[in-house]
Amino acid sequence: MEGYVQSSGGPQPDTGAVPDRGERASGRGRADGEPLGTSGSIGPASGPDFTETVTPGGYLWWYLDALSDDGRYGITLIGFVGSVFSPYYAWARRRGNPDPNHHCAINVALYGDVKRWAMTERGRGDLARDSHNLIIGPSAMSWDGKALTVTIDETTAPIPSRLRGQVRLTPHCLTGYSFALDGKGLHQWRPIAPSARVEVDLEQPGLQWEGRGYLDSNRGEEPVEKGFRYWDWSRAVMEDQETVVLYEADRRDGGHSLLSLRFDADGKAREVEAPPAHGLPTARIWRAPRATRADAGSATIRHTLEDTPFYARSLVDARIHGEKAVAFHESLSLNRFESPVVQLMLPFRMPRRARG
């Protein structure tokens, strides 16, 4: 990870608290967050269950990310039922027909020396799922009890090209935790495998690598923008190879949620003191706001992976509790996502090819 390509101007320094744009309250302390004891629950440790119910207007996704051992490549993969950022799903909700099964997608994003993006939304006729398999059009996620295999056969956008091959994630451990991100428990986050080994084998483009990865799932009983105004999320591999996850959200009800968790090699989570809040430079093109938590003065953007009107995905160098770490980081502005202009722009990156 240390060798991952730098941004074109070098690292961008921490700039302090994010200016208040009505999207993010700045400088919140740990006392403003919901404690682990009231927001978390635990059941049997297990892999993904693709039969989970999705309520009309709600969403369910499974998220995988990884960085190659040599630091040259990165990947994110997301399987959606009720495609949470879909303009088509938003339009269907306004028409009173919010069937999540009719708005599904597998999103693939490659980073580093080879960059690709694919996310084609599909309909109920393209969806099949059982406890171990999620099939959306020509692509699929399959859990065999030990590993998750993602079979990819997609077309990139906005410039068409093929993305075809397999990604295999083998967890170092599994958890049974589930955490509420809102005050009513309508939005749940489940860290399935905080640490994993990932093998990427793509025929198109020709690309093979291995690296350390992560797997989680989010589920909501209502649209995500109904519950939140803004959130930041990051997962960092620490010097002892444990994983720290920071999840912070400004809610529509005026509340503020904060999770600060450290997962050991066996997947056991413990609540740790959240580092101080720090602003990060806005993304360069669309100026999306970004923030994180880190020891004083220690957070910098190593590389911006996605720069969009409503979210930014980045690699962040930070010091957390005195330890150096590299974090996958995401900032999401739901206020921006709701903008009519943004909704009209989304189909250029997210075409729809639906049966049923």
Domain residue ranges in the chain: 30-348
pLDDT of residue 34: 43
pLDDT at 66 over 90: yes
> 258 pLDDT band (50/70/90 cuts)?
very high
Residue 31, classed as helix, strand or coil, is helix
SS (H, E, C) the chain: CCCCCCCCCCCECCCECCCCCCCCCCCCCHHHCCCHHHHEEECCCCCCCCCCCCCCCCEEEEEEEEEECCCCEEEEEEEEECCCCCHHHHHHHHCCCCCHHHCEEEEEEEEECCCEEECCEECHHHEEECCCEEEECCEEEEECCCCEEEEEEEECCCCCCEEEEEEEEEECCCCCEEEECCCCCCEEEEEEEEEEEEEEEEEECCEEEEEEEEEEEEEECCCHHHHEEEEEEEEEECCCCCEEEEEEEEECCCCEEEEEEEECCCCCEEECCCCCEEEECCCCCCCCCEEEECCCCCCEEEEEEEECCCEEEEEEEEEECCEEEEEEEEEEEHHHHCCHHHHHHHHHCCCECCCC
pLDDT in tens, 22-53: 444 333 333 334 444 446 788 899 999 999 99
DSSP H or E run through 335: helix 334-337
**Distance in angstroms (rounded) separating the CA atoms of residues 66 and 32:** 31
Q: Are residues 102 and 77 in contact, defined by beta-carbon separation less than 8 angstroms?
A: no
Q: Are residues 307 and 285 in contact, defined by beta-carbon separation less than 8 angstroms?
A: yes
**Distance in angstroms (rounded) separating the CA atoms of residues 221 and 356:** 23
pLDDT of residue 303: 95
- Counting residues of the chain whose pLDDT is more than 90, the rounded percentage is 86
Q: Are residues 235 and 194 in contact, defined by beta-carbon separation less than 8 angstroms?
A: yes
Q: Are residues 330 and 63 in contact, defined by beta-carbon separation less than 8 angstroms?
A: no
pLDDT of residue 297: 82
pLDDT of residue 177: 96
pLDDT in tens, 201-228: 999 999 999 999 999 999 999 999 999 9
Q: Which residues lie across from 218 on neighbouring strands? A: 61, 189
pLDDT of residue 40: 74
pLDDT of residue 97: 83
Among 19-23, 195-199, 232-236, 271-275, the least confident range? 19-23
> 4 pLDDT band (50/70/90 cuts)?
very low
